[in-house]
Structure 1
Amino acid sequence: MRNLALLLTLAAAASCVSAFRVPLYRKSGVRTPRTVKRQTPTTYKENLLNYQDNLFVGEIYLGTPPQKFIVQFDTGSQFIWVPSAKCLSSICAIHNRYDSTKSSTHQSSKLGYNMTYEDSSNVDLNFAGDTLTVGTLKVTNQAFGQALTMNAQFNDSSYGRFGDTHLVWD
């Protein structure tokens, strides 16, 4: 009887939780092996290879009306960022770029940030806020970075990042 009560309680709780889905797509052949240094008195180097050279990307939309971006879902990064229409790097020209003038819900900022990843890829960001849509989830005033410059390390992976973020623009 206790098991039945527990099962009914869990079923009721599960029905209250709403979920959203984000289709992910496999992107092959874009990463190179990296070197990792251990944090010990002696430094060790180890080449890390990812399985079949894959990463996962998906669609997000920013702005009103929505502007579509293909981004890498990156749990090792803390920000969402996409190339900006103001980006002067040649690498930006081959991807969709966020145009703040085309969004009625854009909120500008003077905050900037320079991010360097482990593989020496580097991006200069200007933060902003706008409506973000991921799958069926819609977030208003979501903080994100607009990439103003990106170095050549990004090559064909410069479509942007969707980091593990919890920032909402106020």
Structure 2
Amino acid sequence: MQFLYFILPAVFASISIDLDTHFKSNEEHWEHFQKVRAKNLLEAGTSSMLKNGDDTIYYGVISIGTPAKKFTCQYDTGSTTLWVVKKGCEDCHKCDQTYDPTKSSTFKDLDATMDIEYGIGSTSGEMVSDVVGIGDSTVLNATQYAFLMATKETNDTGFAPDGLIGFAFDDLGQGYPSLMTVLQTQKKITSRTFAFFLNYEGSSPQSNLMVEGYDLAKYSNQTAFIYVDLVAKNPPDFWEISFTQTLFGTTILDIAITGIIDTGTSFIYAPLKDVTAISAFLTSSKTFGCKQDGEGLIFCDKISSELPSIYFQAAGITLELAPHDYMYKVKGKYLLIIFPQEDDYWLLGDSFIRRYYINFDMDNQRLGFALSNAKMDDDSGVYLSLIGLGLAFLSF
């Protein structure tokens, strides 16, 4: 929705279960099944590592054209269209690689234009098609995939990759299908599923995206995902789920509200009334050492053990956001990274996603959640300007 990242599979494996194994209960049998299924899915899918930029952006490699040229793109579940900067663009951000249509024998001009509005900034240009491959693989690629060759950008806030590739539903593509749909149509994949694991910068294991597979043993301590259906829409657009209620500790913030899971947004955005309530709590007691600066940002001296978690209750699951998930270390202080917005929903970006290993299932229109193994070092946090917000920090 703002901007993100990456990647793929191509070999398909069947699920086999040892029928000679005896189980004491249905639960034990189901757990064994899930472990075997996860192992087969890991072998079936192709795993790709993601690069982390200051815990605010995750990106990786794609290839375009014949011969193939590599580009670094953010992978974004909040949008659908792929775009890269056209060679010679004077109104675009500075990047390492640009797309030159004269250098690809499979390039086609679609004689159309597109303008994409993001939460921050916009991108516009010419619609073209070419061979597009995900990651370093030469197997998983889409032939004549339609994408945007950017000729203008506005409100750049420090975006550094060569472009962006979207993983939301087709409805956001302005008449052009998503890459996942095209790959499925061209029989490069059988199901439109992918799993994101986002870790903190410098932590192990490295952030990862796997298409048509997942590795719960590596990225979570759970043996299965808990699935939540998306908000029913025809056609679907965002990865949006319904919460029966959201709570700050024991205080109810919302009843019957939705949340959008967006890898392309760095932080978290919430309705103004919710941010106001959380900010008022933090600044109401000297215990937390929290103050509001002249820009309206909340800074605290420490992350107190008395700070409450935020809970998102959905059908059959409660998703928790702990204090260290919603506060970031900045120049020795801690910044509240839940920011107000006019819309009446929660926009849950990377700060939320790091908490969970998430399986995105387009075909069944659902999201699977498993507690993530992401690890934060004591010194983790954002020390530079917050790229996802376009804010520059003043001295304290």
* TM norm. shorter chain > 0.5: yes
Shift of 1:22: 2.4
Equivalent residue for 1:31? Answer: none
Equivalent residue for 1:100? Answer: 101
Matched, 1:72 2:98: no
Matched, 1:148 2:174: no
Equivalent residue for 2:46? Answer: 20
Equivalent residue for 1:46? Answer: none
- Which runs of 5 or more residues in structure 1 are unaligned? 29-52
| TM-score between the two structures when normalised by the length of structure 1 | 0.69
Structure 2 CA distance for aligned equivalents of residues 143 and 95 of structure 1: 22
Higher relative contact order (CA 8 A, sep 6+): 1
**Structure 1 consecutive aligned stretches of length 4 or more whose deviation exceeds 6 Å:** 2-8
1:1-170 residue pairs with structure 2 within 5 A? 14=40, 18-28=44-54, 53-89=55-91, 91-92=93-94, 94-119=95-120, 121-135=121-135, 136=137, 137-157=140-160, 159-164=162-167, 165-166=178-179, 168=182
Shift of 1:20: 2.1
| TM-score between the two structures when normalised by the length of structure 2 | 0.32
Contact 2:84/2:164 (8 A) holds in 1? yes
Contact 2:92/2:150 (8 A) holds in 1? no
Q: Assess, with a 3 A threshold, how the Cα gap between structure 1 residues 3 and 87 changes in structure 2: closer, same or farther.
A: farther
Q: Deviations over 1:5-39 (max 9, x none)?
A: 9978x969x47x842222211011xxxxxxxxxxx
Shift of 1:3: 7.5
Structure 2 CA distance for aligned equivalents of residues 153 and 109 of structure 1: 27
Q: Assess, with a 3 A threshold, how the Cα gap between structure 1 residues 154 and 69 changes in structure 2: closer, same or farther.
A: farther
**Greater shift after overlay, 158-167 or 54-63?**
158-167
The one-letter code sitting in structure 2 at the alignment partner of 1:139 is A
Q: Assess, with a 3 A threshold, how the Cα gap between structure 1 residues 22 and 143 changes in structure 2: closer, same or farther.
A: farther
The percent identity for this pair of structures is: 25
Q: Residue 46 of structure 2 aligns to a residue in which SS?
A: coil
Count the aligned residue pairs.
144
The one-letter code sitting in structure 1 at the alignment partner of 2:116 is M
Shift of 1:118: 1.0
Q: Assess, with a 3 A threshold, how the Cα gap between structure 1 residues 118 and 131 changes in structure 2: closer, same or farther.
A: same
Q: Assess, with a 3 A threshold, how the Cα gap between structure 1 residues 22 and 125 changes in structure 2: closer, same or farther.
A: farther
Structure 1 CA distance for aligned equivalents of residues 79 and 133 of structure 2: 19
More helix by share: 1
The one-letter code sitting in structure 1 at the alignment partner of 2:131 is T
Contact 1:22/1:134 (8 A) holds in 2? no
**Greater shift after overlay, 106-115 or 149-158?**
149-158
Q: Assess, with a 3 A threshold, how the Cα gap between structure 1 residues 3 and 139 changes in structure 2: closer, same or farther.
A: farther
- Which runs of 5 or more residues in structure 2 are unaligned? 1-18, 23-28, 168-177, 183-396
Q: Assess, with a 3 A threshold, how the Cα gap between structure 1 residues 95 and 89 changes in structure 2: closer, same or farther.
A: farther
Contact 2:130/2:145 (8 A) holds in 1? yes
RMSD (Å) for aligned C-alpha atoms: 3.2
Q: Assess, with a 3 A threshold, how the Cα gap between structure 1 residues 21 and 70 changes in structure 2: closer, same or farther.
A: same
Q: Deviations over 1:66-95 (max 9, x none)?
A: 111110010001111110114221524x43
